[in-house]
Amino acid sequence: MAYSNVVFLLDVGPSMSEEVFDEETGRTVTKLDLAKEYVCRKISPKVQSGRKTEHTGVLTFGGATDNPFFAKTEDDKPEAEAHDPQDYVGVASIFPPQQARPQMLGVVQSIRPGEFNGNPMAALIVLDKILEQHLNNTRASKNWKREAVILTHAQAKVKQVGWEVVLGQLAKRGVALRVIGLGFDPRPSDKILEDEFSQLPKVERFWRKFCDHLYDTVSTEDAHLCPSVGSLMDALSTARGPVLDGSKSILSKSVFRIGEKSDSPEQAIEVPIRYSKATSLARPQSLKKVIASQVARPKILSESITASQSQVPRTSQSNSQIQLAGTSTAAGTSGIAGIEADVSAFTKYYVVQKKNEQDEDVEMGETSEGDRRIEDADGEDEGEYEEMEVDIENCTKAYRFGSTWVPLNEEDFETMPTKSGIEVLGFIKETGLKRYQEMGEVLYIWPDPDDTKSQIIISAVVQAMESMSALGVFRYVNKDGGNPKLGFAKPMYYDGEMGRIECLHWVQLPFAEDERNFFFPSLKHLKSKSGNPIEEHPLLATEEQISLMSDLVDEMDLDPLGDPETGPWYDCADSFNPAIHRLREAIYHLAVTADLNSDPVPPPHPKLVKYIEPPAEIIEKSKNTVKKLAEALNIKAAPPPKKKFERKPSATDARDDLDIDALFAKGSTSPTRVKEENTEDVNGKQSGAMDAYGASSSKRSTTTGSNDRVIGNQDPIGDFTRVVSESSGNELMEKAMADLGEVVKENLTNSFSTSGFKKALECLQVMRKQAMTYEMTDEYNRYIRDLERFVTDPSFKHTDFWKHVEEAIPRLGEISDEEADAALAAQE
């Protein structure tokens, strides 16, 4: 794994406070804001990766003074001697190189313009001192790749004194220099003509000559060390787009086998190899923590750091590490701090058992928390059951076997006796591989670089397979006792600096259980029931339709859109996963933005949506052909889908077996029955009386309370739903709502503590929903006001119930005109 150390040298002179127009975002910002955004966007991927081998630091020149060559007070002594300490005024180390952390973004955002003209030469000398301290405090110092990025602008002034010393120090440390300036020419120096070079700004001409001298001094075998000069706007545009992690696969050790040594050791081949991933499935960032949404987002920094008042003490690196862990930095509170908690999954196991009938803690008709009632197949209540928690140590895994479960201990399950490695099972022709069978991730199989025999054998296998156009059937096992995987191996070679490099590509194949077969009739040939071919049929394409479809395919060809310089229109290297990078955009924006209302998350980057829609040129080119093809195929706009069910009360829905007059008769003791009180079934058994709804009165035990009610106290929601579904007018609806309201009051009055609150709230939710559906908002609003007076009366014992009503989600208060109109519009 590579070790990288990137230090940004930020020009914060007074001229950086000038405003410029950002064409990409359409906003007017200062030059310093653009430079800070670039730094934040380069730090953000390092923060999200969380790698400890990627360090970053920030220096400023032109503002605050905080460096080892300058003493802040007369009592202090500089840590390093300088020829002229005044040259290092305005150079500050905001934070030394260290692992990237989220709080760094807030520190960079808080930097303000300074009062001095920056001296980048002095900043590079300070950088050399900081890199020396970094080498002393880190392990594997020889493996670190060092990079210095200077951010300035075309109107800046540069003190050119001592540039030869700076150049020598950069070459000695092996530091790759990148100079990025606002207003600089984005082209490399070798692409700029001599007459054009003289027209460049003075500071840009200096940096280009400086980089040319540095290029001649450093070793150019490593492309990373080559210095460069570029434009800030181009670099910022690239940084705003999707950025790949650039993760490299690690070489893993394994064994390559041909034959079995246990059977015939003299004929078997077994050599060490290395393998690595060629492709690996990338997933969006997983949820690691949650933050309370009710807590207001804090500002990025409670108190801003200015470049003239740096809070970083001037000490050695080990003492000047910013305490970025936690919720605060040296500058103040972090922008993403808040009430947070880790997301961790846990599992609890319960056993359902019948509740003790002698348990007196719960009154009759009530169920304690976690308990439930269970009914048999006929709907008969079998009583209350409770859930008892069981430790995982007392649990055994079981697998379904028909209608039962078979327990299976892991000790009883013997794994396959497989050995780790890659074993050759045989070879087949290339034509034996079907494209849809290439599933899963792809692996590189390399010879062991330290084993000559391995290199010879792998090279011979690759050349033999290539000459015979053959593919290898290899079995891959990750570890001893692991599940084997079958795959095809294809010979591959790459041309490198040392010559041809030979290897194998291994891709996993599906097992028989993984195959999904689906057969359908031919699209070109159609036969009748008697077996005779049919020439013309609506399911057979005509010559005109085939010709138009062929023209459409030709017109939608993407190859003509390609540019010889930029390549084809579609490039897999530019096809980014929107789910991954859009989430990263949102995370970065939330990390650097304090107020999302004034600065919401911007739209997706154009590179993310490039391949979501076809090119405009293709759409315009194929417009006429699409129109002709739609006419030839008789394609019409599909009608909107109909609703599955929409209840509209009407007079025709009235039931013949329901006597409305008797139902609302005040003096009657019960609704008029449509059948006799006592009837006998075919077996001669006496059955209960049938009520107005056609249900047996013996079974309908939920209707309690007043005799003229249609809603009972035991199952009020079920009764209310049934009455609503069978009602044909508003009279019965008003009766049902009034009865349900009385049931709510009675249940609250008879409730022991808060046991009846839940059912009462559920009743109100159902009543409110149906009131909006049947345009009875006035009746509901009158009832809810009456209920408030009833509950909040000091003589009522459960006055705290109204607080539950106010806090209920969804809300249970009066229905506003806007809610009623929205419900009506939804129904229409």
The pLDDT tens digits for 267-295 are: 889 999 999 999 888 888 776 665 554 44
Judged by DSSP in three states, 5 sits in strand
pLDDT of residue 367: 42
Structural contact between residues 190 and 49, judged by C-beta atoms closer than 8 angstroms: no
DSSP calls for 361-384 = TS-TT---TT-EEEE-TT--EEEE
Q: What are phi and psi of 156, to 5 degrees?
A: -75, 160
Residue 718 pLDDT more than 90?
no
pLDDT of residue 527: 84
Which bin fits 426, alpha (ψ -120 to 50), beta or left (φ > 0)?
left
Distance CA 685, CA 781 (A): 49
Residue 345 pLDDT more than 80?
no
Per-domain residue ranges of the chain? 3-247+301-320, 249-282+415-511, 349-412, 543-632, 654-827
Residue 320 pLDDT more than 70?
no
Distance CA 71, CA 511 (A): 72
Burial of 83 (C-beta count, 10 Å sphere; 0-12/13-18/19+): exposed
Q: Which residue has the tokens 């390549």?
A: 567
Burial of 450 (C-beta count, 10 Å sphere; 0-12/13-18/19+): exposed
Residues 6+ apart with CB under 8 A from 431: none
30: tokens are 């200062």
Structural contact between residues 235 and 180, judged by C-beta atoms closer than 8 angstroms: yes
CA 629 remoteness from chain centre: 40
pLDDT of residue 82: 55
Residue 65 pLDDT more than 80?
yes
Residue 568, number of CB atoms within 10 A of its CB = 10
Ranges of H-type helices in 3-72: 31-49
DSSP calls for 751-762 = -STTTTHHHHHH
Q: Which residue has the higher pLDDT, 134 or 488?
A: 488
Structural contact between residues 348 and 363, judged by C-beta atoms closer than 8 angstroms: no
Q: What fold does the segment set 249-282+415-511 form as a domain?
A: Ku70; Chain: A; Domain 2 (2.40.290)
Residue 81 pLDDT more than 60?
no
Structural contact between residues 418 and 482, judged by C-beta atoms closer than 8 angstroms: yes
Residue 685 pLDDT more than 70?
no
User: Length of the chain in residues, anyone?
Assistant: 828
pLDDT of residue 290: 57
DSSP calls for 519-557 = ----SS-EE-TTS-EES--TTSPPHHHHHHHHHHHHHT-
User: 3-247+301-320 is classed in which CATH architecture?
Assistant: 3-Layer(aba) Sandwich (3.40)
Residue 772 pLDDT more than 90?
no
Q: Which range has the worst mean pLDDT, 367-376, 475-484, 572-581? A: 367-376
For range 677-695, the mean pLDDT: 39
163-210 pLDDT, tens per residue?
888 898 888 888 999 999 999 988 888 778 777 888 889 999 999 999
767: tokens are 């009543």
Residue at 283: amino acid letter: R
Asked if the 654-827 domain carries CATH number 1.25.40, the reply is yes
pLDDT of residue 445: 95
Q: What fold does the segment set 543-632 form as a domain?
A: Ku70; Chain: A; domain 4 (1.10.1600)
Residue 85, number of CB atoms within 10 A of its CB = 15
677: tokens are 């009180």
pLDDT of residue 257: 93
Residue 421 pLDDT more than 90?
yes
Burial of 505 (C-beta count, 10 Å sphere; 0-12/13-18/19+): middle
Residues 6+ apart with CB under 8 A from 716: 702, 740, 743, 744, 747, 759, 763
Residue 237 pLDDT more than 50?
yes
DSSP character for 298? P
Confidence of residue 312 (pLDDT cuts 50, 70, 90): very low
Residue 712 pLDDT more than 60?
yes
Residues 6+ apart with CB under 8 A from 243: 45, 581
Q: Which range has the worst mean pLDDT, 182-191, 514-523, 526-535, 681-690? A: 681-690
For range 431-439, the mean pLDDT: 84
Residue 406 pLDDT more than 60?
yes
Q: Which residue has the tokens 């069910």?
A: 645
Structural contact between residues 187 and 145, judged by C-beta atoms closer than 8 angstroms: no
pLDDT above 90 coverage of the chain, percent: 24
Radius of gyration of the chain (CA): 39
Residue 370 pLDDT more than 90?
no
Residues 6+ apart with CB under 8 A from 21: 27, 28
